Amino acid sequence: MNDTEYANMPTKTNRMRPFFVFLSAAAGFVFLQIGQSNGQGTSSLPSKGEVAAAKKWLSPEDRAAAKQKKLEQENQVATLRRESFGMLPEGDDSELGKKYQAAFLRFRDAAVDLNQVQLAFHLSKNFSIPFQNKINDRWQAATHDGFLAKASWLDAAGELFLSDPDKYSAMGDTLVEMMLSDVELDRLDGWMEAAKAVVHSKKYNSEDVLRGAGLIAYANSEFDFMEECLEFQKKQETVPEFLSEIATTRQKWQRELEIRAKEAEKNDNPQVEFITTKGRLVMELYEDSAPETVKSFIYLTESGFFNRKTFFRVEKHLVAQTGCEKGDGTGDAGYTIPSEADLPNQRDHFRGSMAIALGSDPKTGQVAPSTGSSQFYYSFLPTPHLDEKYTVFGRVIEGIETMSFFRVMNLSEEAQRKEGKRPDVIISSKVLRKRDTEYRPRILAGKLRK
C-alpha cells in the first residue's frame, strides 16, 4: 500500500468505528434473540401471503392504515424484546438466577461503556494528541472488557439453562441462535461452557447445532466434548471433516501443551503487539522452534514494516493473512527466508497460530518452501493439513477474539479488488520483549531493508 492509498483510507474515527459495533451488536443481537425466542416474537404479525392477499382489496387509505398498524405492531415487538432482554421468569430468586442477573448487568454495563467510549472518540479529534491517546487506550480496554463480559454472561446463561431446560427454555433458544450466528462469523471464543450446556440439555440435536458446538470444541481443543458431538453426528450419518480428525489433532495438541509448559518455565519467548482496526493482538514468538523466522519477524516489526499492512485475505474458518507490501498477495519484504517447517521441533497449527505464507513453484504449481518472506497468517482453527508444510512461528496470547472481527475478503482476487472493499489494517506494531541477541535474518534471496 502506498502513501496515497493510505491517505484515502477511512479517517481514524471511521477505521475504528466498526469495532464499536462489537459489544453493542452482540448486546443488540441478544436483545433481538431473547425477544424472538420467548414466545413474544413476530407471531402476531401477518404473513407475507396474508398481506399480499389483503392488498388486492384495500383502498389507498386502507393500505396506509394497514401499513401504519403493521409499523405499530413491529414497534411493540421491538419494545417487548428490549424489555424482556435478560429477564428471568417472574419470582425467580434462585442462586443461579442471581448469578445470571449479575453477569447480565455486567454485560449491559460493558455495552453502555463502549457506547460512551465511541462518543468520546468521535469528540477527541477536536482535542490534543495526548487526550486522543488516552481515549484510544480506553477503547482498547473497553473492547477487551466487553468480550470478557459477554463470555461471563454466556457461561451464566448456559449454567442457568442447563439447571432446568424446561423452565429456562427461552434461554436455551437464545443460546442456540446466538451460537449458530457466532460460529458462522468465527467468533468461537468464550462459548465453550454455553455450547456444552446446549448439547448436554439434549433438547437440541439438529445437525447445525451439533456441528456448531463441535466447531467451538475444535477451536478450543476440547476433544472429549468433540467426541460427544461426533457420536450424535454419527447417528445422523453426517460427520463434518473436522470432527473426523480428532485423534490426530488430540495427539498434536498434547505435544503442543508439553512444549508450552516448558516455554512457560523459561518465560523468555519474544512478544510483539499489533494494534489493528479491530483491536489489540499480542503474540508470543517461538524462537526455539523457528529461530530464523522469528529473527525476520522482529527485524521487520522494529523497522515498522507491518504498520499500515492490510488483512487482505480473511477466509471463514481458515485464516487471516497480512504482511503483503502491495496488499494483494503479491508483495514481500524484498527478501526470502528459509523454511523451518521440517525441523524436528516444528510446531503445528491451532487456533491463533501464526505461520509464514508461501508462494508456488511456477513450473510445478506446488508450494515452494523457499518463497517465505513477510506474509503470514493467523489460523482460525487447527489445520493439520498445513502442518509440516508452513512454518508456524508464534501464536496469539492476548486478544484472540479480535481475529474474528476482521472483514472477510480476498484481495488476491481481482474481482474483489474491483469491488473496492476496504480491509482491516495493522495501525501500529512494536516489540514488547525479546532476547539478548541480534535479530538479523538469514536470507535466501534479495536484500535486507535499509
Q: What is the DSSP string of 384-422?
A: GGGTTTS-EEEEEEE-GGGGGGSPPEETTSHHHHHTT--
Contact between 298 and 439 (Cβ < 8 Å): yes
pLDDT in the model for residue 67: 80
CA nearest neighbour of 332 among 354, 355, 300, 363: 300
Going through 255-406 in order, the beta strands assigned E by DSSP cover 271-276, 279-285, 313-315, 319-322, 335-336, 353-356, 376-379, 392-398
**C-alpha cell recorded at residue 385:** 493439513
How many residues can be counted in the chain? 450
- Summarised one tens digit per residue, pLDDT across range 33-76 is 333 333 333 334 445 555 555 555 667 777 787 788 778 777 77
Residue boundaries of the structural domains of the chain: 270-446
**C-alpha cell recorded at residue 207:** 445437525
Cα gap 395→271, rounded to integer Å: 10
- Cα angle for residues 70, 84, 166 (degrees, 5° grid): 110
Contact between 338 and 292 (Cβ < 8 Å): yes
pLDDT at 301 over 80: yes
**C-alpha cell recorded at residue 112:** 453502555
Cα gap 382→244, rounded to integer Å: 13
User: What percentage of the chain carries pLDDT values higher than 70?
Assistant: 82
Mean pLDDT of the chain: 83
Most confident of 13-22, 60-69, 336-345: 336-345
Report residue 17's pLDDT band, with 50, 70 and 90 as the boundaries.
very low
pLDDT at 30 over 70: no
pLDDT in the model for residue 55: 54
pLDDT in the model for residue 86: 58
Pick the CATH number of 270-446 from 1.10.620.20, 3.90.1170.50, 2.40.100.10, 1.10.3720.10: 2.40.100.10
